[in-house]
Amino acid sequence: VETIDNIRQRMPSTRKNGFFNTGARGPMPQPVVDAWKQSVDDEFTLGRQGPWYGEARSESRKKMRQGFARVLGAAPESIAVTTSTTEAMNTVLSGINWQKGDEVVTTDCEFPSLNTALALLAKRFGVTVRVAVMPTRAENLDAEAVERTVVERFAAEINPNTRLLAFSHVLYISGLKLPLDAICQLAGDNNVAVLCDAAQSVGASPVDVTASKVDYYAFPGQKWLCGPEGIGGLYVAPHRLEDLNLMATRTAAEMDFSGHFEPRAGALRFEAAAFDLPRLRAMAAALDWFFELGPDFIFERNHALARRFVTGLQAIPATTVISPEGYASLVGFDLAGWKDTEAVAALRDRGFLIRRVPGNLLRISFGYFNLEQEVDALLNAVEDLATRKNDTNS
């Protein structure tokens, strides 16, 4: 494993500030930016046409697809490349023949891209959306009890009208990693499909879509994989390929206007967007970087830094951690007396980039490139904010 300093040398943006917002967009490493720049230059000098271009695109697509497959534990044919997590989720949600009275179960901690899509299903088709409330630290549960509670709360919302469970693998507010295998087992027992929003899990913590038996798994390239913006993917379990209607696609194996439509093989059928060469090559380079550093190293370090922070916060009385046991690389907390936007700005002034999340909470993303000293300095800054508010209030 490389030293963290070496890694940071090749991720210069991590040295400019305390970068604690990979949950929004990861820092791009040097090889990603080099691949991107070189491709822009090639397009400029050689032109976006001819054998070199076709070959370069198909080669980088192939490499990228293989990399995504390796991250997920899936076959490359099961992955459709999409422009985002949001697009991938919408491919699934718009591909189901919804009937009035159908039900979806989700959680109270979903990102707007899933919430809004579900609200549209309710508006357009009369789908009922049920919400399972996810545990927080206030419930004081150990890791095992958290998992059991999550499964029980999903189970309580399932009934004969339920068609889909749609939720995040890692909750973007608290960082809790849901027990995907157990939830998929529950779904299977009830003949219900599972759509998982993997925005905060892929590249951040271990994932195995095959072992978990998830049906649909939507993920981004720009967050924990540190790739470019505007690229991600959708895993579709082989036995679900025929279940989804195609609402938008670029090509078919065969078709005519009499209603005959033979889709492309595998998950390729779900691809609707074309990608420029720089983006394909940059994403392929990000996947190389990820595997060169090593997923185990990345996952362990992300989580160790998050744990260090949680332990530190417990010594600051003005803070309340909301992440229950079982969090991955995100931590959510409340800072008494502070409005979230003001706290984000005050921390930015002190050199730390974080984000707010619903509930007047602050969220910190921990990446392998962060230093222990930075985590400690962030804790000091939080403590300083807490003290300042106390002083003005007294």
CA angle 152, 201, 272 (to 5 degrees): 110
Instruction: Say if residues 99 and 161 touch (Cβ distance below 8 Å).
Output: no
Instruction: Say if residues 357 and 178 touch (Cβ distance below 8 Å).
Output: no
Distance of alpha carbon 339 from the chain centroid: 26
* Sheet bearing 162-168, strands edge to edge: 79-82, 232-236, 216-220, 193-197, 162-168, 103-107, 128-132
For residue 111, state whether it binds ligand PLP (rule: CB under 6 A). Answer: yes
For residue 14, state whether it binds ligand PLP (rule: CB under 6 A). Answer: no
Q: Could you tell me the smallest distance in angstroms from the CB atom of residue 354 to ligand PLP?
A: 13
Q: What are the two backbone dihedrals, phi and then psi, of residue 214, each rounded to the nearest 5 degrees?
A: -75, 150
Nearest in space to 311 (alpha carbons), one of 148, 137, 145, 109: 137
Binding pattern to ligand PLP, positions 67-96, x when CB under 6 A? -----------------xxx----------
Q: Could you tell me the smallest distance in angstroms from the CB atom of residue 94 to ligand PLP?
A: 15
For residue 172, state whether it binds ligand PLP (rule: CB under 6 A). Answer: yes
For residue 271, state whether it binds ligand PLP (rule: CB under 6 A). Answer: no
Q: Which residues pair with 356 in a beta bridge?
A: 362
Instruction: Say if residues 178 and 167 touch (Cβ distance below 8 Å).
Output: yes
For residue 175, state whether it binds ligand PLP (rule: CB under 6 A). Answer: no
Residue number, 316 or 362, with CB nearest to ligand PLP: 362
For residue 197, state whether it binds ligand PLP (rule: CB under 6 A). Answer: yes
> DSSP per residue over 301-340, as a string?
HHHHHHHHHHHHHTT-TTEEE-PPTTB-SEEEEEETT--H
Binding pattern to ligand PLP, positions 207-246, x when CB under 6 A? -------------x-----------x--------------
Residue number, 147 or 197, with CB nearest to ligand PLP: 197
Instruction: Say if residues 321 and 363 touch (Cβ distance below 8 Å).
Output: no
Spatial separation of the C-alpha atoms in residues 269 and 293, rounded to whole Å: 33
Residue number, 12 or 112, with CB nearest to ligand PLP: 112
Stretch that binds ligand PLP, among 14-22, 197-205, 343-351, 362-370 (CB under 6 A): 197-205
- Which of 132, 146, 199, 354 touches ligand PLP (CB under 6 A)? 199
Residue number, 362 or 385, with CB nearest to ligand PLP: 362
Q: Could you tell me the smallest distance in angstroms from the CB atom of residue 175 to ligand PLP?
A: 11
Q: What are the two backbone dihedrals, phi and then psi, of residue 231, each rounded to the nearest 5 degrees?
A: -150, 140
Interface residues toward ligand PLP, by CB under 6 A: 24, 84-86, 111, 113, 168, 172, 197, 199-200, 220, 232
